[in-house]
Structure 1
Amino acid sequence: MTTTATTTEPSDLVLIRETVRGLARKFDWDYWRRCDAEHAYPWEFVNAFAEGGWLGGMIPEEYGGLGLGITEAAVMMGEIAASGAGMSGGSAIHFYVFPPAPIVRHGSEAMKREWLPKIAAGEVLTAFGVTEPTAGVDTSRIRTKAEKIDGGYVVNGQKVWITNAQNAHKILLLARTSPRDEAKPLHGMTLFFTDLNRDRITVTEIEKLGRAAIDSNELFIDNLEVSDDEVVGEVDKGFYYLIDGLNPERIVVGMEGIGLGRSGLDLATQYAKDRVVFDRPIGKNQAVAHPLADSWIRLEAAEAIAMKAAAQFDAGENCGELSAAAKFLGAESGFEACDRAMSTMGGYAYAKEYHVERLWREVRLLRNAPFSQEMVLNYISNQVLKLPRAY
């Protein structure tokens, strides 16, 4: 890496950064190109991080994890994305780091002791079942229902854009257990941690623009039985448990966008030094050099915001505003850097052997997921600027 500023970091962060960087870069550009072309889940990459103990980064030590904070997790995920793994590698590790969060904070002791060590060891892959085609970003309007029966519930409904469902063993599934109340629309949803039972859940993969190595799916749930002891926390409070994990996930998504941007910027910078047109490296042309320099500045600024938000979260402070800003800036600066890399490399950018087109496809996702840039702006305009709510 040549595009990261020299900073003074605590020694533990330096160690994490260097160790994760070294491990991630054992998997070269051709590995990720092959995973993308073949739609192959990067199990070798996941297993390498499992052997290093990194999958349980945010799982407490007493349950087999490392017990790290969001600052360390953000650095780790940023380095993974920057290694060339992009979101193909970032998502593969991300879904071990964050889906367990509701279990860590709200699961029963029995649930924690049975499942968290297996997740930390890479033995169990989890999907996250929240989004629905008819609800969009208004989660209060999900239609998947869990009806009470003796000893548990029967779930019926539909989910969409569910990552990992082709391979996942378990699913954190959000369903309505009480009718929607206009006065308290986010109440009445319950979070279940249960088997992804393919006898009762039909999994259909969605063809998509980028991140082909990591599957996205539509789920059709037909009379899935879950037991009472598979409820995470209390009945009807599931959405609030999801909210607990939104701020730290925003920070890490921002860092993944920054990592992707730096990866694209590195490719473009090297190309601008090596590519000679009209007897001079194209990097001598300010029309090439200035956009790349501008992206370097924006990526550095985005990381400063993300790390400040992480420090707030780890200190137990309210980090909602900065975590939203971190996601916004990470996605914007990352996409802009990769888009400028595409422009710098011209026609060659479209050739898969130059790799930048994959980064461009993958980083574009972060403008929409896990929530759109417009929803971030809605939050800031209403909560920070105190403007009237738009929805």
Structure 2
Amino acid sequence: MSSASSIDPQRIGFLFNHDELHQVAHIAPIISALQRQAPTARVEVITSSERQAEAVRQFLDPALPTPAFWSIRPNRWSRLAENMLGKMVPLNRLSSLKRSTDLFRHFDALVVPETTTTFLKKNHPSDRPKLIFFPHGAGDRSIGFSPEISLFDYVLLPGEKTRDRMLEAGVIRPDNHCIVGYPKFEAYVSRPPVKLFDNDKPTVLYNPHFDPLLSSWFRFGEQILDHFADQTAYNLIFAPHVMLFQRKLLASVEHRLLKFRQRIDPRYAALDHIHIDTGSTRSVDMTYTSAADIYLGDVSSQIYEFIQKPRPAIFLNSHDAKWQGNANYEHWNFGPVLDDIADLGPTLEAVSPLSDPFRAAQTRAFAHSFDMDSRESPSQRAALAIAEFLALP
């Protein structure tokens, strides 16, 4: 572990380097907690857009000194190249990292919510800065346990499930991680629920992922919107993963697959019982997982945020997955799994109220996925873990 200097305080940067805002709430609450935990350290923020910077500021404690903010915005050439490639390759993120290596060397550690930052270890091997990782979500997809995680110096985890799978995959060691809980829950715990519809009908959240192999949108999306457009018994929130509609051509590095994303017919948005959101802040702040009565989706980690309060869930097997007994689809045990959209109507009628076996599965999985220690908040626990790892006074 690194030792604190008696002359220069250690510098810890919270790095946000993504096109969208869905990763911010996973580590931003830790910033003020670390300022309180280690007041002699210099806690700073690094962002790649003004939208990110503004989102981070919303989580800062106004009673504490405002951290220094640094910008690593991508240059125009990387933006042009990424656009020409249909945004299939994260050239903006990689460009921002490459051009900012001199800045990063001035930091003792960087706290990050995504794995692209391991570029710094692959291309500029060095003990400085240390890389501290907190995954943005607690889902089951295999990408969440990828070999890149082994390049991090320290890993903060939401619960036992992620720890166990990372240990099994060999991407963390017994001595380089700590379970701290889920700061995103803390970030929105006191926010009142939002009423989206002027009626008391049950509300379904359709939340497809963006991965071109795993997402139900490409095969079933239009049929699902048609189903809800042609009935009036349910409200529908269509709020996919924010990355689904940021690109016309979707690429899966994990599955080596490309697919063009179809557009949404504007007639759906004109209906009073359908609410469409393809990427606002409400898509990432648990507004919709809190407002819905029934979850409809495929592989998004948002299902784990939804089951904080157990409720009916339906899953769509659009890619003929052999999912039983597969840890990458553990969440498909929380409700019925459909291979055919013709079964959607009858399943919606049968899924409520939530059956005891599905309730038990959700409750067990939530407890395994999130360590909900009531004595200290997740941000406090994360700040303490970081301070101990870096030997901050």
Q: What is the TM-score when the length of structure 2 is the normalising length?
A: 0.28
Structure with bigger RCO (C-alpha 8 Å, 6+ apart): 2
Larger helix proportion, structure 1 or 2? 1
